[in-house]
Structure 1
């Protein structure tokens, strides 16, 4: 909870609640803010980047993203298994990336390894007014 309070204050400048980004992640996962800024030449839009650390075998809960959020995801280390909407599940390795269109469902997002950690950088372009960026599908 202490970490979540710190992260909430870091994202407060854009009006986006950090808890809405971290909501879909499991107890062993860590979500850390990387960057958050309103985009000055696109009124009403913000750029929010978070780092997602998956322990060996770690996974996010199935979730949906805000209808306004376009997401670029880059695998920094390890390998991530991901399934977006009805596309087939795919494993992305360090250096590879994928995207999620606004309102996408993300039924699978997990570390593909049971023995090594993995790290993902997720960059959201989102309506600044959106308060919930990630909604659990449960």
Structure 2
């Protein structure tokens, strides 16, 4: 096989792969996503599609967090919760942490309702506080 034949086969494979990627359908947005972002006109997402993220999504009531028995910071939504967990959690592990992490991400992507992430964040904060007091 010559170099030209190899290049031709490679180009053909790349074209086929590109066609498959363009025609592959993504999972439909959940009802929560339609509620936040509106209904989409088609079920396929081309490679150049921008995924909208609801960074400004807010919970009905904030979660008040803090340290030393002083709840001085209000976490207003899943994006704020993710930032708080990243910056203030010393133990980024465990089922409660990952549940809160995953649900907050899903909420800002519109895959679950915004309010679904809130109790999981509260539970993760309680676990982090208990771990912190256990080690100090």
TM-score computed with the length of structure 1 as normaliser = 0.24
User: Greater relative contact order (Cα 8 A, min sep 6): structure 1 or 2?
Assistant: 1
Larger-Rg structure? 2
Higher strand content, 1 or 2: 1
